[in-house]
């Protein structure tokens, strides 16, 4: 059943219902579908043994990020952690695999049952105590660290953007974190910087180029107000303290190379630090594209060699692509209202070559930059 393809589900369900209750068969097939979805986050080996809920698959931390965080805790000497709002146990599993004893707490009975089943299924039950409780009533004294992952989605409103509308609210999570020797709070990566508590270090984490989450760190030997971008799987990080953060880079003409900073770098407001490393500047004061005359290899940005710079004009772009025999067209945009698929339909790329077009602004003017990965 684990590898059942969607097209074969009806046949499998019909066969199983001959010997098993219909409700049990439906539940098993639903679990099989969830396990297939969970492979992207947990890997095939773990996903095939774990148990999931729809919300659990959607909201749980992917293994690569949870492992990175657990390694950070381990490096800081943490031997025990209170994992509040633990969900189905993704972070608790990573903590336990790092040798850290975990108290995993959630108030939803089904979620607690799933988290407990996952600890058992992965052979980590001795290190993970799963408790059904309201996290605001849990005594975390005696634990080396507190990790809080507040719910940021509502069944009625969907994604929640106001940190005080988290469950529990960010203010409560901060109070719980600062009372522990080490505290870490998982938050939405789009949180406004002005909503970040002054005493926190803020870290944005991307995995494979996609920003996955932000974390607020509270520790006695930390640097309040510091910002970090961590890029996985490379493990490359760029960091700046409040007194060392650079001003916005200068705007300059488009050079031979265009750099697209990783989303975590942009979210952390560390584009200036990356631009300095690249000896580059911005193409527009409001656009996070860095340009430079030289090619630099960096984990913090994708590099493109620019061959053409044109004012935005669909007919001119179509003619250029036809002349270059471009059939594989990648469209990127930043600061443009044009949708990539809309443009692709209009220019109808055909040919054996490939190109990348950036729809953006250069010194305030709508512009097309054409090039290819460097």
| Of residues 125 and 167, more confidently modeled | 125
> Taking Cα atoms as reference points, which of 89, 121, 83, 85 lies closest to residue 103?
83
- Helix axis angle for 22-47 and 9-16, nearest 10°, is 120
Looking at the chain, how many residues does it have? 374
145, 183 contact by CB (below 8 A)? yes
225, 287 contact by CB (below 8 A)? no
Share of the chain above pLDDT 90, in %: 83
Give the model confidence (pLDDT) of 231-281 as tens digits: 999 999 999 999 999 999 999 999 999 999 999 999 999 999 999 999 999
Residue ranges in 79-191 assigned as alpha helix (H): 90-97, 109-121, 170-178
Partners of 369 in the β-ladder: 309, 358
- pLDDT tier for residue 15 given thresholds of 50, 70 and 90: low
Using CA atoms, how far apart are residues 360 and 284, in angstroms rounded to an integer? 9
| Mean confidence (pLDDT) of the chain | 92
Q: Which of 16-25, 33-42, 60-69 has the highest mean pLDDT?
A: 60-69
Global model pTM greater than 0.85? yes
| Predicted local distance difference test score (pLDDT) of residue 163 | 79
| Predicted local distance difference test score (pLDDT) of residue 155 | 53
> Taking Cα atoms as reference points, which of 171, 148, 151, 149 lies closest to residue 160?
151
| Predicted local distance difference test score (pLDDT) of residue 295 | 97
349 contact partners, CB below 8 Å, separation of at least 6: 321, 326, 327, 328, 329
Q: Is the pLDDT of residue 14 over 90?
A: no
Give me 14's structure tokens.
Answer: 């019909």
């Amino acid at each position: 059943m684990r590898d059942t393809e969607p097209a074969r589900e009806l046949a499998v369900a019909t066969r199983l219902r001959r010997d098993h209750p219909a409700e049990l068969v439906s539940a098993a097939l639903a679990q099989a579908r969830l396990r297939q979805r969970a492979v992207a986050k947990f890997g095939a080996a773990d996903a095939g043994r774990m148990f999931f809920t729809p919300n659990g698959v959607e909201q749980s931390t992917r293994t690569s990020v949870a492992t990175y965080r657990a390694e950070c805790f381990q490096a800081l000497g943490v031997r025990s952690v209170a994992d509040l709002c633990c969900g189905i146990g993704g972070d608790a599993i990573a903590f336990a695999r790092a040798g850290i004893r975990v108290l995993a707490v959630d108030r939803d009975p089904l979620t607690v049952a799933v988290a407990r089943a996952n600890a058992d299924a992965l052979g980590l039950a001795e290190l993970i105590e799963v408790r059904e409780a309201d996290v605001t009533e849990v005594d975390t004294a005696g634990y080396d660290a507190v990790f809080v992952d507040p719910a940021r989605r509502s069944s009625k409103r969907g994604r929640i953007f106001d940190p005080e509308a988290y469950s529990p609210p960010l203010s409560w999570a901060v109070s719980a974190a600062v009372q522990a020797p080490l505290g870490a709070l998982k938050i939405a990566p789009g949180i406004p910087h002005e909503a970040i508590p002054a005493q926190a270090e803020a870290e944005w984490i991307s995995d494979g180029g996609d920003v996955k989450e932000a974390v607020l760190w509270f520790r006695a030997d930390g640097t309040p107000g510091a910002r970090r971008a961590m890029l996985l799987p490379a493990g490359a990080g760029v960091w700046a303290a409040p007194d060392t953060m650079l001003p916005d880079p200068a705007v300059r003409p488009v050079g031979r190379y265009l750099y697209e900073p990783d989303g975590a770098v942009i979210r952390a407001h560390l584009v200036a630090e990356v631009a300095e490393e690249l000896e580059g500047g911005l193409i527009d004061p409001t656009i996070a594209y860095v340009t430079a005359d030289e090619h630099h290899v960096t984990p913090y940005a994708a590099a493109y060699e620019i061959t053409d710079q044109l004012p935005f004009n669909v007919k001119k772009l179509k003619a250029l692509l036809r002349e270059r025999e471009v059939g594989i067209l990648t469209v990127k945009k930043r600061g443009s209202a044009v949708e990539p698929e809309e443009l692709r339909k209009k220019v109808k790329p055909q040919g054996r070559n490939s190109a990348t077009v950036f729809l953006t602004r250069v010194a305030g003017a709508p512009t097309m930059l054409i090039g290819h990965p460097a």
